[in-house]
Amino acid sequence: MGIERAVVFRFHRDPLVARARVRLLRRLNPGVPVYGLFGGAGGVRGAAFRLAGGPLLGLDALYTSRHSGAWNWKNGDLVLLDWYRDVGRRLSFDVLHLVEWDLLLADSLERIYAGVPPDAVGLTAWTPQSDVGDDWRWLGGREEAREWRRLLTRARADLGYDGTPYACLGIGPCFPRAFLDDYAAADPPDLGNDELRYPLFAQLLGYSVVDTGFRHGWHSPGEDRYFNATGQNISPDVVAAELARPEGRRAFHPVRVPLRGLRPPVPGPQTVAPPRERR
């Protein structure tokens, strides 16, 4: 019996790009439900986007965050937990994939996440914080660093945490259902951000973490042309060149154009970094 997967598709802008991503997800993953999570701003524009989002994007359902756009951006994990408590716990799935609107996954979820066991948490660029450096906003910013110290102190004092802190890029994570149950029950505070809390609570809750391999190393400037979190748009030519290679990449971020006429992926394994696992 195969793994039952589901997608939470998070979006807040560019409906045409979002619609193209949903269509591609459906084409490459027949039968996998795609649930929308709107985390954008309020106001007239936001209301119009929310109302049109379900029919326009072709989603199975649409959930709207109760929080501001800025809070949602910082706390993607907490928004996902809101969705899970209100909606997701009643749905059927084994593994949940959180897919951002500008993440291009050009192969099936089963193939792209083949290196992540169904009982493990899949995180991108999963890296010891000592290797990340203090130039990263969430560790080096004055307020951000203060929040992280508070969270780490609480984890050590109240939960007995004595592990090595890690960071990740909050792009393309996947979670076993049991982790979402436990994470929701833990009720994490909005200290730090999702890219710090995901690895911390995976450790606290006793779940193995496996790197998705979407980006091969945190400090790897050559990777930026394929996958980055700096906002540097990925060239359609780069995407086309990789899809033409049987063992080329199939995950790209950010891709903020629809890429109409995208060719089906060439059969072949997703090129990933060697899986790294730790409890």
Summarised one tens digit per residue, pLDDT across range 164-209 is 999 999 999 999 999 999 999 999 999 999 999 999 999 999 999 9
Quick one: tokens of 279? Answer: 């409890």
Quick one: tokens of 150? Answer: 């508070």
CA distance 118 to 269: 18
Instruction: Return the residue matching tokens 């130039």.
Output: 135
CATH of domain 5-124+169-272: 3.90.550.10
Are residues 241 and 248 in contact, defined by beta-carbon separation less than 8 angstroms? Answer: yes
pTM for this prediction: 0.91
Where do the domains of the chain lie? 5-124+169-272
Name which of 242, 212, 210, 208 is nearest 225 in CA terms: 242
Summarised one tens digit per residue, pLDDT across range 93-136 is 999 999 999 999 999 999 999 999 999 999 999 999 999 998 99
CA distance 232 to 234: 6
Name which of 253, 245, 250 is nearest 227 in CA terms: 253
Classify residue 125 by its DSSP letter.
E
**Would you call 31 exposed, middle or buried from its count of C-beta atoms within 10 A (0-12, 13-18, 19+)?**
exposed
